Amino acid sequence: MTARVALIGYGLAGAVFHAPLIAAEPGLRLAAIVTSDDTRRAQAHAEHAEAELLGSADEVWAARERFDLVVVAAPNRAHVPLAQGAIAAGLPVVVDKPLAATADEARAVVAQARAAGVPLTVFQNRRWDGDLLTVQRLLLSGELGAVHRFESRFERWRPQPKPGWRELADPAEGGGVLLDLGSHLVDQALLLFGPATHVYGELDVRRAAARVEDDAFVAITHASGVRSHLWMSAVSPHLAPRMRVLGERAAYVKEGLDGQEDALRAGGSPTDPDWGAGPPGLLVAGDDTRPVETERGAYPRFYAQVATALRGEGAMPVDPMDAVRALALLDAATRSARPPAR
């Protein structure tokens, strides 16, 4: 069975991430793209001429029998209503991260999907970054020993805010680096080291023209005893290591971001033979330093698992309750960062 996909939204998320990955998965067919923007409609037709162009999600709900999956790649403010619309139509749904702006909103969407018996998952694609896959391998092999601290960063240098919803202060827009980048970082930390017992946050607005936080730090204490220190920033003129994992035997250090996003932005295809290949990291123990091979990044695995789940042969790739738990930590970090009442 080849599942017919309706992709809602053809901005950065829809055009760069979802559409190429869907098109590369043999078990899926990009049947329709929903956008009302004339420029994006022209782009969608040029890049995916086989897909029908629709102007609104209502057209998908009205023709629900023609689709097997909905992918929500619209701006954050639309994630909840579009997910709810897909669930009401009885259509399995992938929602780009974050599932919602708050944990309470996300929990309500998950409850609705469960009550309706409709599959729901969240596009946490950075679970398939090469560096994260490498950390999982090192943890499994025991090369690091017992880990006591996990440091992880998504840092950028953008001295001037870019136009768009990510820079808007209205909480309903879901802007700011905490939700945009923290959704990935917290998800990765929980995936690696398990549930949290404590969380602490710092949120700052560093650029004069910024209207929402552009620099943030989150510290998590896991029930396993590991401490995760997570940085997300748009104002870093010097980029620190992407990851540093400290264990009792050795540390893993990785510079630079996983290359899959840049490859997709440049028009690369997940079917390319060198897809996901990246430079090595380092395994360090005092003066002993050696390169360690980086696992290949594997974003295509997300939609491969979606296709398998739609055939009834396995679970969706990301449990949506994982998104709820991550958002609960981001909500707690935001409360922690607020100045005490006087």
Give the predicted TM-score (pTM) of the model: 0.94
Res. 95: pLDDT tops 90:
yes
**CATH for 129-298+328-337, options being 3.40.50.620, 3.30.360.10, 3.40.50.2300, 3.40.50.720:** 3.30.360.10
Cis amide linkage into residue 26, ω under 30° from 0: no
Residues with Cβ within 8 Å of residue 140, at least 6 apart in sequence: none
CATH code linked to domain 3-125+301-315? 3.40.50.720
CA distance 283 to 289: 6
Task: Give Cα separations from 162 to 171, 176, 205 (angstroms).
Answer: 18, 12, 15
Residues with Cβ within 8 Å of residue 52, at least 6 apart in sequence: 31, 32, 33
Topology match between the domains 3-125+301-315 and 129-298+328-337: no
CA distance 99 to 120: 10
Provide the residue ranges of all domains of the chain, joining segments of one domain with +: 3-125+301-315, 129-298+328-337
Most distant CA pair in the chain, distance: 65
Confidence of residue 342 (pLDDT cuts 50, 70, 90): very low
For the segment 235-253, what is each residue's pLDDT rounded down to a tens digit? Answer: 999 999 999 999 999 999 9
Query: What per-residue confidence (pLDDT) applies to 243?
Result: 98
For the segment 291-336, what is each residue's pLDDT rounded down to a tens digit? Answer: 999 999 999 999 999 999 999 999 999 999 999 999 999 999 999 9
Helix (H) or strand (E) holding 69, with range, is strand 69-72
Confidence of residue 208 (pLDDT cuts 50, 70, 90): confident
Query: What per-residue confidence (pLDDT) applies to 226?
Result: 98
